[in-house]
Chains A and B, each alone.
Chain A
Amino acid sequence: MIEAHELSKEFRDRKRGLVRAVDGVSFTCRPGRIFGLLGANGAGKTTTLRMLATLLTPTGGRALVAGHDVASEPEKVRAKIGFMSNSTALYGRLTAREMIEYFGRLHGMDGAALRARVDTLIGELGISEFARGRCDRLSTGQKQRVSIARAIVHQPEVVIFDEPTNGLDVMTSRTITGFIHRCRAEGRTVIFSSHIMSEVERLCDEIAVVHDGRIVAHGTMDELRAKTGRTQLESVFLALVGEPEEVAS
């Protein structure tokens, strides 16, 4: 469960002065459902997710992740979340197995329990054949699978994905989207961000459209269609953020 209430983040930028990257965002993500943040680059998606993952501290509002406050109990929050983005890379000089074990240990796992969990993940995600290979020698697809294992080694209640399929080929993207579906089936709370309309449409139970740090619309795909009176997600999106559609489309 994620509850964000009037969540805000201000940065001090040398050139632009005070920047409100996220401006009073509120939403709720429930277990067993996939919540999507849809928005253009720079809309505030990454900042929002980074606040939920306790990488950044909110400057306003509050957020509870798995019952813990992100600002006052960051370590408890991190124990309950699995976070993946395209800037969560692997340690090149560790083997795939060592990588997963290392993060298990950082989450306080140890001994036989850790070994059993790592074995399970290696089996389930098809990592066995390259488990002893160094991470910097793995293919992109193999790396993604190790990243998934790393993110869920501690059985997190909440899984946060920041543009997880950005820059990946179709095959590798499928590994990720398959994994997102699995997380929902297992009853985890899933939140993910993307600027790819079709991906959001295909995966999400609920969508929040983010623009300029604010949520401009919120609901299921059908609700958003009804609200704008359009069927194509792209047109729905453009209508919601208030951009005129190109004449050709």
Chain B
Amino acid sequence: MRAARTVFLKEMREMLRDRRSLFVAFVVPLLVMPVIFVIVALTAKSRERTDREEVLPVGLINTVAIPGLPEAIGAQANLAPRSFAVREDAETAMRDQAVRAILIVPIEAAGAFLEGRAAAAEIVYDGASDKSRLARDRLEKVLQEAEKAEQLRRLEARGLNRSLLEPFDLKTTNLATPRRTGGFVLGAILPYFVILWTVVGGMNAAFDLCAGEKERGTMETLLVSSASRRQIIAGKVGAVWCLSLASALFSLVGLIVSLSGTFRAVAHIGGETIEVSYGSIAAALVTVIPLGLMMSSVLLVISAIARNLKEAQTYVFPVSMSVIVAAMLSTILGQENTLALAAVPVLNTALAMKQVLAGIFNVPFLALSLTTSVVYALLTLKLAVSMFERESVLFRA
């Protein structure tokens, strides 16, 4: 295997001199992802603030019929009430966006309310507008509060206790440590990105190492050396594997740094702290090792079949789509998975990583998922070797 080592070292040296490959494999996962996360988090935060603070005009019709309701609405700093006499005027105002929602209390509601019956009320809103939905939610909340106050008043008037209506006094307790909560939050998105980078990180290099060599005319130079085809492809797979794992590691570091920064800000609001153990992260990386070998082999198969870089980029499309879908599925599925899922390539790694990050060590699942991943990796490696040994593949006219 000395020739394989020679090929491996030379490919690594060439890749480390290729700025494009380095940029895609290291700079993007380490820096660009965090930047995107920070931007998304900041946008979400500012959005949340406007949602809370922006003053929305609402139209009121006959709300005076319910005692205390106009005052309750007036007390909301983020609502600007405006009274209308007839529904048509209010609806016209809503179409002109002068008001965002309308609360209508019919004339007969006053009598019903006072007699202790249900008073009719209607909220008019525009389901196609965010601001209108927000105004509706705020009006609903005011009405719910008023409803609660009226319930209490009516019960007390009859000498009854509130517990009549609320037989349960419910309290929820979160047993998860901050570490496990952190693992859960990270586990939801991290496998997706790490798996994506395991594939994307090695892609450029993989295409360069066969299709690129054909295109540049170095393939023949290499094939007439006394190294065997097997040794050459072994060296190439090794180099791509190395790069894809490095890329996965960099994306993990970038994500954890940016997520912990982002979540610290978010956690302040939620009042929860988030931690992740280094052990979990290391275990998550171990799960990527066989996946990296499998993807490197698959990419090199594509690269060997393709006549040039452009063809390789076309052929890889269905593969990258399947990987994206499988990785995405992991974000939807929970952490308690049936063993059958441990046999699905890519998805098994994503789920294993998710479990490990959440601190769940489901030994049969992890063992099976690791075993199947290794088997798939070896099968695809074998395919890559056999492709590389076929002259009809290497010398496609």
User: Interface of A with B (CB < 8 Å)?
Assistant: 11, 13, 50, 53-57, 75-76, 78-79, 81, 83, 85-94, 98, 102-103, 105-108, 150, 154
**Can you list the 8 inter-chain pairs with the closest CB atoms, starting with the nearest?**
A89-B217, A106-B225, A79-B226, A83-B224, A88-B221, A78-B226, A105-B6, A93-B17
Q: In the bound complex, do residue A90 and residue B218 qualify as a contact, i.e. CB atoms below 8 Å apart?
A: yes
**Knowing A55-B391, A55-B395 touch, does A89 contact B228 (C-beta < 8 A)?**
no
Most chain-B CB neighbours within 10 Å: which of A50, A79, A88, A98? Answer: A88
Chain B residues within an 8 Å CB radius of A76: 226
**In the assembly, what is the distance between CA of A242 and CA of B14, in Å?**
50
Point out the residue from B221, B225, B395 that lies within 8 Å of A90, measured CB to CB.
B221
Decide: A88 near B224, CB < 8 A? Known: A105-B6, A106-B6. yes
Q: How far is the CB of B162 from chain A (nearest CB, A)?
A: 78
A107 pairs with B18, CB closer than 8 A: no
Q: How extensive is the interface on chain B, given as a class?
A: 20 to 34
Tell me, in angstroms, the Cα distance from A11 to B395 when the chains sit together.
Answer: 11
Interface residues of B (CB under 8 A from A): 2-3, 6-7, 10, 13-14, 17-18, 216-218, 220-228, 391, 395, 397
Determine which of B218, B220, B223, B224 lies in contact with A91 in the assembled complex, contact meaning CB atoms within 8 Å: B218
Complex contact A103–B225 (CB within 8 A): yes
Contact B7 A88 (CB under 8 A): no
Say how far B248's CB is from chain A's closest CB, in angstroms: 24
Q: Offer 14 A-B interface pairs, CB within 8 angstroms, sorted by A.
A: A13-B397, A55-B223, A75-B226, A78-B226, A85-B220, A87-B220, A88-B220, A89-B216, A90-B218, A91-B218, A94-B10, A94-B14, A102-B6, A154-B226
Please, which residues of chain A bring their CB within 8 A of the CB of B218?
A: 88-91
Q: By the criterion CB–CB under 8 Å, are B225 and A107 in contact?
A: yes
User: In the complex the two chains form, is A108's CB within 8 Å of B2's CB?
Assistant: yes
Query: In the complex, A98 Cα to B18 Cα: how many Å?
Result: 16
A85 to B227, CA, bound (A): 19
Cβ contacts under 8 Å, A13 to chain B:
397
The interface residues of chain B lying within 8 Å CB-to-CB of A94 are 10, 13-14
B220–A75 CB distance below 8 A: no
Q: List 4 additional A-B contacts (Cβ < 8 Å) besides A88-B221, A93-B17.
A: A88-B220, A89-B216, A98-B10, A106-B6
Report the bound CA distance from A15 to B63 in whole Å: 83
Contacts of A78 in B (CB 8 A): 224-226
Bound CA span A201–B242, Å: 52
Chain A residues with Cβ under 8 A from B395's Cβ? 50, 55-56
B141 to chain A, nearest CB (A): 64
Residue of A nearest to B235 (CB): A106
